[in-house]
Amino acid sequence: ANNTVKTAASSQTQGHNPRRGVGTAAMNRAILDHLHFTMARLPALASRNDWYMALSHAVRDRMLDDWLASLHHFRNKELKVVSYLSAEFLLGPHLGNNLINTGMWDAARDAVESLGLTLEDLLRQEEEPGLGNGGLGRLAACYLDSLATLRIPSIGYGIRYEFGIFDQLIRDGWQVETADKWLKFGNPWEICRSEIAYEVKMGGHTEYHHDADGRLAIAWLPVKVIKGVAYDTPIAGYRSRITGLLRLWKSEAVESFNFQAFNAGEYYHAVDEKVVSESITKVLYPNDEPGVGKLLRLAQQYFFVSCSLQDMIRVHLLRSPRLEEFDQTFAVQMNDTHPSLAVAELMRLLVDEHGLGWDAAWKVTRSTMAYTNHTLLPEALEKWPLQLFANLLPRHLEIVYEINRRFLDEVSQAYPGDQARLARMSLIEETGGKFVRMANLASVGSHAINGVAHLHTELLKETVLADFYQMTPGKFCNVTNGVTPRRWVLLSNPGLARLISESIGEEWVTAPEKLRKLERFASDPSFLSAWRWVKDANKRALAATILERTGVTVDPESLFDIQVKRIHEYKRQHLNLLHILTLYHRIKRDPGAQIPPRTFIFGGKAAPGYFMAKLIIKLINSVAEVVNTDPEVAGRLKVVFFPDFNVTNGQLIYPAADLSEQISTSGKEASGTGNMKFSLNGALTIGTLDGANVEIREEVGEENFFLFGLNATEVQALKKSGYHPGRFYEEDGELREAIDAVRSGLFSHGDAGLFQPLVDHLLYDDEYLALADYRSYLECQERVSTAFRQRELWSVKSVLNVARMGKFSSDRSIREYCEKIWKVPIRPPFPH
Ligand code: OX2
């Protein structure tokens, strides 16, 4: 890859610097130029997409100046580069965010208007890159924003899925999945780097022989070689004059590999090979799918990890020939276990390909790698069937065995005779089928292991990784998640952002602890009414979109009670439903009941193979159908399922919420980040002591947070003592009424069987204790209703929530990673 052509310009470090104008006139000219030269269109014939593309190219051009300067850092030996390995990056639309972060919004808007268009229309044209499932992928995207904003040299490495997370349609109340063809109109934000490409081997077997010097040499003879090509996307930091790099790998066929097949006339076979090679990065796997062991998914993980590490080694070798110093060039963060093959792959590259001794390679591998855990759910902990692993990665299995042999030696030295502990800590699970345990591999191969909220890290140390914690407590630390206030306030809630900035200045955007200054305005009636006006405008905008997408009319004056997130039993959308059913019955029983009007809004995707989650969506829609058409509750209750919840829709939904539902079973939600987005936009939270809710409550004050339910200790104790959900059903008349209504067929046109699996699950299993928390949740919701009647007081609480949410900026999280894990200095902020 080091085939730079020497020219007069390339010998100057700064090179060519055609800094482009960012005023309205320059933008206008640039858009027209791109329409002409890039899109090959006449203005009179241009479609909205042509204009969107032309504008995006004009914006991208202006980001490249900073980008090329930023890329220069990678060669600077003094700067350690953060490498964030993640199988998912859920970026959301680029255009608006880039305009905000680069400060070009006004110029772009004016230029677009001078061409007779509106910026809003063009923003709507963008197909969002949905390269993630939910919180984990979105967290990675927030972290890229903060890394660039804080001017930390960094690269995000991931997979360029041709199809991202599926689009969700609702048909007859059921979720229907359709392919996300996000690239169909072209992607103006990426740059294909054909020259940055690596070969990745798969399958086959290994052979040992002695080389001329009598040393043991290992050869991996694969059955397949695939090429990974880099696609780069610039990530603008907020007014930092730094553009970060997201490098995603696309799989392709190696041109020469099956040349023989062509010669032998096996043309079709060769073409098949090409199809197989390209299939590696075809599609993002929805998570929560039952049944591990999808070969293609393991191939994806290995593919992107191998390309990324080869790329890092190339960059390192530009700085120094000594791979023992690799940890001075890169700090590698593994976002969950999906990239944990990096441990074995870095060992392979160092030992087999670059000739380092095992001990030296292990030392540098460990001090480079760090692992973030995002879940305690046992079914979400990755493990690969040994045979499948062996078939795809025969050499890596040998390396895993060797790591394991040495590691278990250490364990048995530390805990002589403790066989049970050895079995638990082994990288190989041997009880009932053999598996490679990826969390153990990641833990052993890392110098740092972190959870994503205080409670989660504590539970991690007590449960899933307890043995590892006991053996190496110093490796463990917590970094509570955060979200970027750029996308999640400035971009998505411009009204609120303006009001805040007018009151306390603009510093909060990069120094969100400054939001505290809002506290003094919480007693200012005119400020409060402006605050309320902003919220109401956001609610009206959401109401209009709800009408357009679902045909349901909702009242913007009502309490907007919102739960948007992936559909999962542990997140307990069904508990929310039980509350709705109870209110419904109360109003039917007593039309005079003092219940302020509420609009319940749900959104979220269910994994295509997760039957119960899909049934919950159907039930939400079925309840909506009955409630929304019942004249006895008209004007009092509405239920909406907002289809296809994604980043774009989130930007509309979070700012419009009065109440944020964060009601997971305590101990199950590692952190949550939607909880932060809501609160940062002035919603009050009803929630359990779970994940980051605990810390949000601490920050905003318990009087400004609606707490209910069992805590994690109580959950464990109840489970241990034997939990019988049926008792709660027997003893609570209103709960019984709600469940009986579902099982009677009231919501399924008399079909009593439809929701039977869900009802049975609740009555006889209820793994996530919805029935145990029902009464507490209901009582808490009554406190919500009472509070919402005092609108002024509600607004005060809303202001205080925003004022005290500074901790949850992803900038703070990234600073903590820098200090505790990456050992990367924080540079002073860029003077704007
Ligand atoms: C999610 C967690 O479920 C969520 O609680 C957390 O906020 C988010 O990651 C970011 O840390 N897949 N998604 C997650 O974990 C896994 C595994």
The DSSP line for 314-332 is HHHHHH-S-GGGHHHHEEE
Query: Which residue among 62, 316, 374, 815 is the active-site one?
Result: 374
| Helix%, strand%, coil% for the chain, nearest 5 | 55, 15, 30
pLDDT recorded at residue 820: 98
Spatial distance between the Cα atoms of 268 and 281, rounded to a whole number of angstroms: 21
830 pLDDT tier (thresholds 50, 70, 90): low
pLDDT recorded at residue 264: 60
Query: Residues 447-504: pLDDT tens digits?
Result: 999 999 999 999 999 999 999 999 999 999 999 999 999 999 999 999 999 999 999 9
Spatial distance between the Cα atoms of 520 and 504, rounded to a whole number of angstroms: 10
CA 685 to centroid of ligand 1, rounded, Å: 19
In a domain, 687, yes or no: yes
CA 692 to centroid of ligand 1, rounded, Å: 11
363: annotated active-site residue: no
Query: Residues 502-554: pLDDT tens digits?
Result: 999 999 999 999 999 999 999 999 999 999 999 999 999 999 999 999 999 99
pLDDT recorded at residue 810: 98
In a domain, 648, yes or no: yes
What would the DSSP string read from start to end of 476-517? EEE----B-HIIIIIIT-HHHHHHHHHHH-SGGGT-GGGGGG
Write down how long the chain is: 832
In the β-sheet with 448-451, what is the strand arrangement from edge to edge? 191-202, 224-236, 243-253, 154-159, 81-85, 330-335, 369-372, 448-451, 476-478
**Residues 381 and 337 sit within 8 Å (Cβ to Cβ):** yes
Pairing of strands 167-171, 89-90: unpaired
Integer distance in angstroms from the first to the last C-alpha of the chain?
A: 36
- For the chain, counts of helices (H) and of strands (E): 33, 24
Instruction: Inform me whether the pLDDT recorded for 421 exceeds 60.
Output: yes
Beta carbon of 603 within 6 Å of any ligand 1 atom: no
pLDDT recorded at residue 432: 87
pTM here?
A: 0.96
**Residues 642 and 603 sit within 8 Å (Cβ to Cβ):** yes
Q: Which residue's CA is minimally distant from atom 4 of ligand 1?
A: 672
Pairing of strands 559-564, 428-429: unpaired
**Residues 245 and 71 sit within 8 Å (Cβ to Cβ):** yes
In a domain, 210, yes or no: no
CA dist 250 to 259, 279, 284, 804, Å?
21, 10, 12, 42
Quick one: three-class SS letters along 800-826? HHHHCCHHHEHHHHHHHHHHHHHCCCC
Q: What are phi and psi of 655, to 5 degrees?
A: -65, -15
618: annotated active-site residue: no
Nearest to 605 by CA among 204, 240, 132, 215: 132
673: annotated active-site residue: yes
Please count the other Cβ atoms lying within 10 Å of the Cβ belonging to residue 275: 10
94: annotated active-site residue: no
**Probe residue for ligand 1, chosen from 662, 671, 677, 810 as the CB with the greatest number of ligand atoms within 8 Å:** 671
Cα angle vertex 153, ends 149, 158, to 5°?
95
Query: Residues 202-213: pLDDT tens digits?
Result: 999 999 988 888
Q: Which residue's CA is minimally distant from atom 7 of ligand 1?
A: 672
- Express as a percent the part of the chain with pLDDT over 90: 88
CA 110 to centroid of ligand 1, rounded, Å: 40
Query: Residues 673-724: pLDDT tens digits?
Result: 999 999 999 999 999 999 999 999 999 999 999 999 999 999 999 999 999 9
Element (H, E) at 333: strand 330-335
Spatial distance between the Cα atoms of 573 and 601, rounded to a whole number of angstroms: 11
Spatial distance between the Cα atoms of 122 and 56, rounded to a whole number of angstroms: 9
Spatial distance between the Cα atoms of 182 and 199, rounded to a whole number of angstroms: 26
Q: What are phi and psi of 686, to 5 degrees?
A: -105, 125
pLDDT recorded at residue 11: 45
| Three-state DSSP class for residue 171 | strand
- Express as a percent the part of the chain with pLDDT over 70: 95
374: annotated active-site residue: yes
Instruction: Inform me whether the pLDDT recorded for 748 exceeds 50.
Output: yes
CA dist 50 to 21, 113, 115, Å?
22, 15, 13
**Residues 101 and 485 sit within 8 Å (Cβ to Cβ):** no
CA 458 to centroid of ligand 1, rounded, Å: 16
**Residues 123 and 133 sit within 8 Å (Cβ to Cβ):** no
Beta carbon of 374 within 6 Å of any ligand 1 atom: yes
pLDDT recorded at residue 20: 78
Beta carbon of 132 within 6 Å of any ligand 1 atom: no
CA 670 to centroid of ligand 1, rounded, Å: 6
Q: Read off the tokens for 494.
A: 């411009």
Beta carbon of 464 within 6 Å of any ligand 1 atom: no
pLDDT recorded at residue 1: 40
What is the amino acid identity at position 483?
V
Beta carbon of 673 within 6 Å of any ligand 1 atom: yes
Beta carbon of 564 within 6 Å of any ligand 1 atom: no
Instruction: Inform me whether the pLDDT recorded for 257 exceeds 60.
Output: no
Q: Which residue's CA is minimally distant from atom 10 of ligand 1?
A: 136
Cβ burial of 288 (10 Å; 0-12, 13-18, 19+) is: buried
Instruction: Inform me whether the pLDDT recorded for 316 exceeds 80.
Output: yes
Residue entry with tokens 């003893």: 731
Q: How far is CA 583 from the centre of its chain?
A: 34
Spatial distance between the Cα atoms of 561 and 773, rounded to a whole number of angstroms: 18
Query: Which residue among 673, 797, 804, 815 is the active-site one?
Result: 673
pLDDT recorded at residue 14: 45
Quick one: three-class SS letters along 706-717? EECCCCHHHHHH
Instruction: Inform me whether the pLDDT recorded for 262 exceeds 70.
Output: no
CA dist 797 to 352, 564, 801, Å?
60, 22, 6
Cα angle vertex 70, ends 69, 73, to 5°?
105
Q: Which residues pair with 38 in a beta bridge?
A: none
Spatial distance between the Cα atoms of 68 and 693, rounded to a whole number of angstroms: 40
The region, left, alpha or beta by phi > 0 then psi within -120 to 50, assigned to residue 681 is alpha
Q: Which residue's CA is minimally distant from atom 14 of ligand 1?
A: 136
Query: Residues 135-153: pLDDT tens digits?
Result: 999 999 999 999 999 999 9
Contact residues for 311 (Cβ-Cβ < 8 A; gap 6+):
157, 196, 198, 230, 247
In a domain, 568, yes or no: yes
Q: What are phi and psi of 68, to 5 degrees?
A: -60, -35
Residue entry with tokens 């080091």: 2
Pairing of strands 559-564, 598-603: parallel
pLDDT recorded at residue 755: 98
pLDDT recorded at residue 465: 98
Helix ranges (H only) for 246-294 are 259-263, 267-279
pLDDT recorded at residue 10: 46
Q: How many CA atoms are closer than 13 Å to the CA of 118, on its beta-carbon side?
A: 3
| Mean pLDDT score across all residues of the chain | 94
Please count the other Cβ atoms lying within 10 Å of the Cβ belonging to residue 10: 11
CA 668 to centroid of ligand 1, rounded, Å: 10
Instruction: Inform me whether the pLDDT recorded for 48 exceeds 80.
Output: yes
Between the CA atoms of 416, 419, 422 and 428, what dihedral angle is there, to the nearest 10 degrees?
150
CA dist 32 to 42, 105, 111, Å?
9, 18, 10
CA 693 to centroid of ligand 1, rounded, Å: 14
Beta carbon of 439 within 6 Å of any ligand 1 atom: no
pLDDT recorded at residue 290: 55
Query: Residues 70-116: pLDDT tens digits?
Result: 777 777 888 999 999 999 999 999 999 999 999 999 999 999 999 99
Instruction: Inform me whether the pLDDT recorded for 189 exceeds 60.
Output: yes
288 pLDDT tier (thresholds 50, 70, 90): low
Instruction: Inform me whether the pLDDT recorded for 792 exceeds 90.
Output: yes
pLDDT recorded at residue 15: 46
Residue entry with tokens 């390396």: 399
Pairing of strands 191-202, 205-210: unpaired
Nearest to 308 by CA among 341, 357, 277, 278: 341
pLDDT recorded at residue 76: 82
**Probe residue for ligand 1, chosen from 375, 481, 569, 662 as the CB with the greatest number of ligand atoms within 8 Å:** 375
The region, left, alpha or beta by phi > 0 then psi within -120 to 50, assigned to residue 585 is alpha
Q: Domains in the chain: how many in total?
A: 1
Residue entry with tokens 């996000």: 182
In a domain, 213, yes or no: no
pLDDT recorded at residue 12: 46
In a domain, 651, yes or no: yes
Give the CATH number of the domain where residue 669 resides: 3.40.50.2000
In a domain, 598, yes or no: yes
In a domain, 7, yes or no: no
Host domain of residue 788: 554-809
Nearest to 401 by CA among 325, 344, 341: 344
